[in-house]
């Protein structure tokens, strides 16, 4: 079953709008200006992550916190959830991954997001939608995760993909975190190359060839990280489309650099 869904196939689904920006106006503003009918706004910073700290900028929330958030948004285990963002799924993928990690059996990402929905002339509405409370029970462990030690080992003994832009991987720039560079042994694989200019994912065949070129094969232990575990979830999603099951280092670079004894590579 593909983790992606097309606009005409939503049917009876709980729809979460996960539009988010690292900087600039918050996603809720875009949501209120127009969103899919019935969609409820899901705040990535508060609903899909614990507060920032030693665990990184977007640590994994605990089960109770996540369960409360999803029930408030109308999520039930028995009903499919569709998540979307502006276009390229970088934020929606974090919702997909977190719901799957906490045990939801059927989560899909709207391929092409809100932009594709509007371009196809489909209806949108304004303002907030108040969901009927859901009954989702969060049970952690549905997706593989890495801590810092596991990520460091995987970079040496398997394949660890760095989903950030190549210039951040090389340590040439670091606009967000305090230290530049990458985990030694990690492979640069910018996640934005998984989608076309419209924000839709490339075909499974294209993605499979891309990840093979990095050594990411179904029989090889594979993981991904980024700055704070958001775009790396997008990388995990792309690999899932390609038939490769990968672990997510949720804390990612923002957690790695909190321990000064951990090695850092550049170039």
pLDDT score at 22:
76
The CATH code of domain 145-256 reads 3.40.250.10
Q: Please tell me the pTM assigned to this model.
A: 0.96
Q: Which two tokens stand for residue 83?
A: 């998540």
- What average pLDDT does range 96-116 have in this prediction? 98
Start-end ranges of CATH 3.40.250.10 in the chain? 4-119, 145-256
Which of the four pLDDT bands, split at 50, 70 and 90, describes residue 1? confident
pLDDT in tens, 107-129: 999 999 999 999 999 999 999 99
The distance in angstroms from the start CA to the end CA of the chain is 39
**Fold exhibited by the domain 4-119:** Oxidized Rhodanese; domain 1 (3.40.250)
Task: Give per-residue pLDDT as tens, 8-63.
Answer: 999 999 999 999 987 666 789 999 999 999 999 999 999 999 999 999 999 999 99
Q: Calculate the average pLDDT of the chain.
A: 96
pLDDT for position 126: 96
Q: Is the pLDDT of residue 254 over 80?
A: yes
- Predicted pLDDT of residue 24: 62
pLDDT at 25: 61
Catalytic (active site) residue 42: no
Please give the pLDDT value at position 218: 84
Angle at 230 between CA 164 and CA 13, to 5 degrees: 135
C-alpha–C-alpha distance, residues 234 and 185, integer Å: 21
Q: Which of 70, 207, 226, 247 is catalytic?
A: 226
């Amino acid at each position: 079953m593909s983790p992606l869904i097309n606009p005409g196939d939503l049917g009876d689904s709980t729809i979460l709008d996960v539009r988010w920006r690292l900087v600039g106006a918050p996603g809720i503003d875009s949501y209120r200006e127009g969103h899919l009918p019935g969609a409820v706004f899901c705040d990535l910073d508060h609903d899909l992550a614990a507060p920032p700290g030693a665990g990184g900028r977007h640590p994994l929330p605990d089960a109770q916190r996540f369960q409360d958030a999803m029930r408030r948004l109308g999520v039930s285990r028995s009903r499919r959830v569709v998540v979307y963002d502006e276009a390229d799924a970088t934020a929606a993928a974090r919702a997909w991954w977190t719901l799957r990690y906490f045990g939801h059996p059927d989560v899909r990402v709207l391929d092409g997001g809100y932009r594709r929905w509007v371009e196809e002339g489909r209806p949108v509405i304004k303002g907030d939608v108040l969901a009927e409370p859901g009954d989702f029970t969060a049970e952690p462990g549905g997706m593989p995760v890495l801590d810092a030690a596991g990520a460091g080992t995987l970079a040496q003994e398997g394949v660890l993909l760095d989903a950030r832009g190549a210039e951040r991987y090389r340590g040439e720039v670091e606009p967000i975190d305090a230290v530049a560079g990458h985990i030694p042994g990690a492979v640069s694989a910018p996640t934005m190359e998984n989608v076309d200019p419209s924000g839709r994912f490339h075909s499974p065949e294209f993605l499979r060839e891309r990840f093979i070129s990095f050594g990411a094969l179904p029989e090889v232990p594979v993981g991904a990280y980024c700055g704070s575990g958001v775009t790396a979830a997008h990388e995990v999603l792309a690999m899932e489309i390609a038939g490769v099951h990968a672990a997510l280092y949720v804390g990612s670079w923002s957690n790695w650099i909190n321990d000064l004894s951990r090695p850092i590579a550049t170039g």
